[in-house]
Structure 1
Amino acid sequence: MAKRPGGELATRPLHFIWIADCSGSMSIDGKIQALNNAIRESLPHMRSVADENPNAEVLVRALAFSSGAQWHVSQPTPVDEFKWNNLAADGVTDLGRALTMLAEQLRIPPMTDRALPPVLVLISDGEPTDEFTHGLQMLMAEPWGKKAVRIAIAIGEDANLDVLQKFIGHSEIKPLQANNPEALVRHIKWVSTAVLKSASAPASQVTGLPPDQNVPIPTPPSAAYPQAADDVW
């Protein structure tokens, strides 16, 4: 642990939040099963990254949205204790409601001003059916919403990339496209390892970042995959 006047450097919380589309279209062609499997497979990798940086306490939870939104895992849970229970798909795509609920949790309190920037991962296969813009405005009005690392994964070709890009809010970071289960696993592993590692790095290691970005984003896996026989979504 790094030393500083007065004692050891205190552990800082890093909130990692999955925001998962559970609308009815996610039940088609095994999308929701693939999402459940990919997140579950990512957990050992997340734990390894967290173990490498004892100055960050990685806390994980999950928000699901369909007809309305609800916390799938409501309490910030230490990554070593986090377990994934399968999501089921049904209903419409109330992304705006999900972002409003997310904004409520990123206020101070319950957040603290000494946390590390949260990592928010939005995964969707469609288009919002409610007032997405209002929810996004509420999220961005919160300091931790604006400072968060926001990543989006598009499942299939019907996902609204413009909406996902607005959620990300950085022109140099693009939505990741997953047209099959293998691509989804690859993207989720990247978010839960490379992005998490960057977000948990001490601030003293971060230099030369673009404006409005306080966490270096590693080079992602290619967001564009050529059409192939195994592209099922």
Structure 2
Amino acid sequence: MPVLVLADVSGSMAEAGKIDVLNRCVASMIRSFAGEDTIRGEIVVGVVTFGGVEATLHQPIAPAAEVVWQDMTPFGRTPLGQAFDLANVLLADESVISRRAFLPTLVLVSDGLPTDEWREPLDRLLASPRGGKAVRLAVGVGQDMDEDAFDVLRAFIDNPAIQPVRADDAHLLSRYFSWVTMSVTQRARSTRPNDIAHISNDELDDLLG
């Protein structure tokens, strides 16, 4: 079961401890996944970062139990479009993600508007077999996130039944990642991991209320 995090590491993520909290959240999630191997397979995790002038595969997709987490460092701008294209390449590569893998979970974390062209890369991701069928979740971090920035997150999710979550304070990220961890592990334990349960917006709001 693949989990791919798209993490904003632009310079603004250095403010108010946002990157420090995000690093702790991702590391904790990976540790939890490492203990969740089942008879049906294992949870594999990758992290794509976008900051500066490009997107980077910060953590190659690998079984969670094998990941040695290295903290992300913020700098530069917000090239989200490049992150979408890199995610698309990774999802399509059967040497990275097995053809028999369950539907992936994509988690986008950002604190502002993209600084590159992102609509066409997102269209390509959503039109791809795995990207289009993936469970796509998103969280906006910090009080500077305006409606235009949240519109980008909504376009990524592309599902009116699921809304992006607002984490005005960085420490609320830990609650959101705890929920993501629980959702993925419940699917991993299920006898039908590709059956995606409806996600209640009220449930998500309660996390950060």
So what's the TM-score if we normalise by structure 1? 0.79
The answer for the alignment partner of 1:229 in structure 2 is none
Tell me which of 112, 117, 127 is aligned to 1:126. 112
Aligned with 2:84: secondary structure?
helix
**Residue type of the alignment partner of 1:135:** P
Q: Over aligned residue pairs, what C-alpha RMSD do you find?
A: 2.1
Offset of residue 182 of structure 1 = 2.9
Aligned with 1:57: secondary structure?
coil
The answer for the alignment partner of 1:164 in structure 2 is 153
Offset of residue 177 of structure 1 = 1.2
2: CA distance, partners of 1:132 / 1:202: 36
Matches within 5 A, 1:208-223: 214-219=195-200, 220-222=203-205
**Residue type of the alignment partner of 1:149:** V
Matches within 5 A, 1:18-167: 18-48=5-35, 50-51=36-37, 53-66=38-51, 67-74=53-60, 76-107=61-92, 109-110=94-95, 111-159=97-145, 160-167=149-156
Q: Deviations over 1:97-145 (max 9, x none)?
A: 1100111111153444321000111000000111110110111121000
Residues 1:108 and 1:38: Cα distance change in structure 2 (over 3 Å): closer
1: CA distance, partners of 2:207 / 2:113: 20
Q: Deviations over 1:175-233 (max 9, x none)?
A: 11112233100001111222442366333x77xxxxxxx5224444316856xxxxxxx
Q: Does the 8 A contact of 1:46 with 1:193 survive in 2?
A: no
The answer for the alignment partner of 1:181 in structure 2 is 170
2: CA distance, partners of 1:117 / 1:77: 16
| Corresponding position: 1:197 with 2:180 | no
Offset of residue 164 of structure 1 = 0.3
- Identity %, equivalent residues: 32
So what's the TM-score if we normalise by structure 2? 0.88
Residues 1:99 and 1:196: Cα distance change in structure 2 (over 3 Å): farther
1: CA distance, partners of 2:184 / 2:198: 6
2: CA distance, partners of 1:197 / 1:175: 21
Aligned with 2:66: secondary structure?
coil
**Residue type of the alignment partner of 2:196:** V
**Residue type of the alignment partner of 1:197:** Q
Aligned with 1:87: secondary structure?
coil
**Residue type of the alignment partner of 2:3:** F
**Residue type of the alignment partner of 2:80:** L
**Structure 1: stretches of 5+ with no match in the other structure:** 1-13, 207-213, 227-233
**Residue type of the alignment partner of 2:142:** G
Residues 1:223 and 1:91: Cα distance change in structure 2 (over 3 Å): farther
**Structure 2: stretches of 5+ with no match in the other structure:** none
2: CA distance, partners of 1:108 / 1:65: 20
**Residue type of the alignment partner of 1:25:** S
Residues 1:200 and 1:215: Cα distance change in structure 2 (over 3 Å): farther
